[in-house]
Structure 1
Amino acid sequence: MKDLKVLKKGQEFLKIALINLALLLVFLELGSLGWYLVKHKQFFYTREKTQDKSALGINLEGVRLNQSIVERFHPFFGFIQQPSADFRPGFKVNNYGFISPYDYPFKKTKNNQFFIGVFGGSVASDYAIFQVQNQILPKYLKQLPGLKDKEFVILSFATGGYKQPQQLLILNYFLALGQELDMVVNIDGFNEVALSNLNNKNKVALAMPSIQHISPLANFANNSLSTKAMEATLRIQENKTRINQALSSLQNCSLAACNALTSVYVQHLVNNYKTDVLKFEEERTNKQKDDSGSVIYINSNKSVLQDSVAFEEMAGNWAKSSIFMHKVLSASNVPYFHVLQPNQYYQTKRVFGEAEKQIAFNKETPYAKSVQIGYPALFKKFPNLEKNNINILNAVNVFDNNKEAVYVDSCCHYNKAGEVIFSNYVGRSILESLRKDEARSKKK
């Protein structure tokens, strides 16, 4: 009888446990449905499924899922991203390491095609991707009678870390290969002062490619990458595999609870990835004490230049490179527009919200001082640029009247809202400039 009572109590306990578990799962599912509705503005069960992993609601900013975190040497450009056919829907890292739907040089297939080349660093690369996807600049250009029937093709010649004279060299290289261009937009300024200043602090010639990118490549070539950097590389690779697997699981979730729990897991992996990338960046940029035996030659300075001398040289390189880009393009009547990109470390009248401050500013960054000293040095070159007929667009104030967040990191990059504002400014400014040119031509 005792055993029977124990058995009955056990059954009752099991029933209660199962009922509580079922209720827990129901409440978890209901809570997850509410969370998904708030986050994605749609009902989970009737959601529009996507194959684009970047559209799953996970912040993948800065995560190179389909790219190596280490660039590749290029004998003319300094460094490029590793070419890859699998970047994101509609894009690849092409045969020259640029994020684009096309390999280069790209030839016109229709008489009405209008090729716009975009040059610069990562902000310019993001801008080019955004234009391909949203066609904001083309919408402005179509307001001109002579361009309303054109098919606009955006060609990106921009890569993260590029700074003058890399844009100038890349332009001349592709023109030599026969690349056709009908307009060029060069978006720069930040890298020219921020990355060139890092060169200076490491006694590397300012006009050389970014030491932040070249140094680890030299260390790889010399087989001198630190053990800590190699360990971080392995962890990063393992995390990328886990992130890709988890994102695939996220795409196939049939319950809202599965989506919520997997999302939390993926975000945890992404955070670990970013932490390891920071550790890798810190380790890989440690210069060798003796690089006399290096197989990579990098022009150096005997000492660190004083800020006043260094930033004047940086600004001079920036301006002269832009002038030469204009000269080579004007010989073929190709309009050239030079855009000085906005950056959070150059103080304007913009008021940052507390949440954006946490994202956009880093007290430890070496970039803040570079921008604060460097941007005024660039401004001083404006009269010389204008004297040489450069269409210089000063975009530093474009976010001043916007209250919502526009920055996605503590470097320089913009979110979708920021890209829209920046793109509209560039589009309006170019349209206005071209209209003025048309008016002057009619008066002649």
Structure 2
Amino acid sequence: MKRFLRTIGLAALVLVLLFGVLEGGYRAYLAVTGEGFSSRVVRDAWLGQLDWIRRPHGPIAMGAVDLQEANEDTDVPRVGTPVLSPYMGIDLLELLDQYQPSAEYFATPESEDVFDVVLLGGSVAMLMGEEKAAQERFEATLAADPRLAGRQVRLHNQARAGTKAPQTSILCHLLFQLGWKPDLVVLLDGFNEVALANENRYAGAHPLYPPVGTWSFLTPEVDYSAQDIALLVEMELAQRRSRKLLEGGLRSGLYRSAFGARVLDALLSRPGARHAGAKAALSARRNASGMPVALRGPELPGDTEAAFDGMIQFWAQSAIAVDAICRAHGVPLLHVLQPTLHDEGAKPMSEQEKIHCRISTHWEEGVDVGYPRLRAEGERLRERGVHFVDGSRLFAKSTETLYRDACHFFPPGSIALAEFLASSAAGLDEMLGEER
């Protein structure tokens, strides 16, 4: 018995020493390559992935996941419940009752003393607006403009995850219809208009539609076959496997180990690939079998070139509509093309970004083909009088880890983006600071 215990103890000691050697060797490698290691970055990246997995995606997750239970004992934000919207295709249930009370604020004397800014866009804008430090940086930077004469700045976050043109122009119109009276509207977009639109195209839905995967399962037109359900189950099981790995890594503190974190990231790639494969197969099946017209929309553009020409025009026409709506109410618009990691030249990727910020094939094609066209079309928008700013190269010289996934930022990235937006408002010389 003693010999057995000594053997077990010796084996454990060897494993500990081996892990120590691997840990030290990997940290040395990261130091030599100039990457270094940050347990905070790894932890935040895992929390970000866990947050995304816990958000309701698709029919199985909507029916099988208890949102209250899923968010207990974590420091990731609670999520909203998607519902069909007669205006934007899809909205969050928790926001529907807030439209009118928020509008009533603009009729109060308090509103007259505050410089109110409405933020529109997708999840990058939404998460920036939710990040307290980023919100404070935006408000403080803009409030420092002497033309505001000391007025307090207040950011009203009306961005939505997955929202894209023309949903933003529809939402802008809706807010003014309800009585909102902001002093400035900021539209931060671009990624969803090419990445999610391209994903729509491969799923057999029109690129102009809201991302079909986020709302189609809520409609009565969807009739899932046994094969469809099998693929949905495969996606759900892959997500649950990822969730268990992430929760285990966070609970055990594995993010503190450079080598251990790398091992868990490698393990996460398997359920990630499993989920992506099932999702692609489901999209191919829905496309091949033909979607109901209510889901697919108008006839799809013919080839890739025609499809992307359409996407860029949809984006531009939506921006022109937002600008016209704002001008009709005497409110300036600041339209900014958001930066995104996989746009060539946007940012040198750190080692952690290479690991955590992979992108799907359809999104990557959307960025590769779409972003150069967005920049070119943005210049034409500027010539038409739209206050357009190209923010796609904001982090072109930054080597630190700013992205937590393919398009979203850690707090330092959101803070820098918020400051850039506020500073860009200085270009609104003829309107900024005027009374409503």
Q: Distance in 1 between matches of 2:251 and 2:98?
A: 35
The corresponding residue for 1:282 is: 280
Q: Distance in 1 between matches of 2:115 and 2:264?
A: 41
The corresponding residue for 1:130 is: 131
SS in 2 for 1:141: helix
- Tell me the alpha carbon deviations over residues 176-219 of structure 1, each in whole angstroms, 9 at most, x when there is no partner: 33445343221111222233334445554332223454566669
CA contact (8 A) 2:120 2:185 kept: yes
CA contact (8 A) 1:408 1:414 kept: yes
What is the CA distance between 1:365 and its match in structure 2?
1.7
What is the CA distance between 1:311 and its match in structure 2?
2.7
CA contact (8 A) 2:301 2:310 kept: no
What is the CA distance between 1:340 and its match in structure 2?
0.7
What is the CA distance between 1:383 and its match in structure 2?
4.9
SS in 1 for 2:165: coil
- Tell me the alpha carbon deviations over residues 334-368 of structure 1, each in whole angstroms, 9 at most, x when there is no partner: 33211111234433385445664565566x72334
Q: Distance in 1 between matches of 2:97 and 2:149?
A: 25
The corresponding residue for 1:329 is: 326
Relative to structure 1, the CA distance from residue 220 to residue 232 in structure 2 (aligned partners, 3 Å threshold; closer, same or farther) is farther
Q: Distance in 2 between matches of 1:55 and 1:101?
A: 32
CA contact (8 A) 1:218 1:296 kept: no
Relative to structure 1, the CA distance from residue 220 to residue 406 in structure 2 (aligned partners, 3 Å threshold; closer, same or farther) is farther
CA contact (8 A) 1:29 1:257 kept: no
Q: CA RMSD in A?
A: 4.8
CA contact (8 A) 1:236 1:277 kept: yes
What is the CA distance between 1:240 and its match in structure 2?
6.8
The corresponding residue for 1:209 is: 210
Larger deviation: 197-206 or 260-269? Answer: 260-269
What is the CA distance between 1:429 and its match in structure 2?
1.2
The corresponding residue for 2:57 is: 69
Q: Which has the larger radius of gyration?
A: 1
What is the CA distance between 1:233 and its match in structure 2?
4.0
- Tell me the alpha carbon deviations over residues 269-301 of structure 1, each in whole angstroms, 9 at most, x when there is no partner: 755553443234223322154447x49443231
Higher helix share goes to which structure?
2
The corresponding residue for 2:33 is: none
The corresponding residue for 1:395 is: 391
* TM alignment of 1:48-63, pairs within 5 A: 59-63=46-50
Paired amino acid for 2:369: I
Q: Distance in 2 between matches of 1:257 and 1:328?
A: 48
Q: Tell me the TM-score normalised to structure 2 length.
A: 0.70
Paired amino acid for 1:298: R
Q: Distance in 1 between matches of 2:377 and 2:132?
A: 29
CA contact (8 A) 1:95 1:104 kept: no
Relative to structure 1, the CA distance from residue 66 to residue 368 in structure 2 (aligned partners, 3 Å threshold; closer, same or farther) is closer
Relative to structure 1, the CA distance from residue 18 to residue 387 in structure 2 (aligned partners, 3 Å threshold; closer, same or farther) is closer
What is the CA distance between 1:325 and its match in structure 2?
1.1
What is the CA distance between 1:313 and its match in structure 2?
2.4
Please state if 1:309 is matched with 2:309: no
* TM alignment of 1:279-428, pairs within 5 A: 279-286=277-284, 287=286, 289-291=288-290, 294=292, 296-301=294-299, 304-348=301-345, 351-352=348-349, 356-357=353-354, 360=357, 365-409=361-405, 411-428=406-423
| Matched residue count | 401
- Tell me the alpha carbon deviations over residues 8-30 of structure 1, each in whole angstroms, 9 at most, x when there is no partner: xx55x477569769978998999
Q: Distance in 1 between matches of 2:228 and 2:266?
A: 26
Larger deviation: 236-245 or 192-201? Answer: 236-245
Percent identity at matched positions? 20
The corresponding residue for 1:232 is: 234
What is the CA distance between 1:408 and its match in structure 2?
3.5
SS in 2 for 1:381: helix
Relative to structure 1, the CA distance from residue 218 to residue 278 in structure 2 (aligned partners, 3 Å threshold; closer, same or farther) is farther
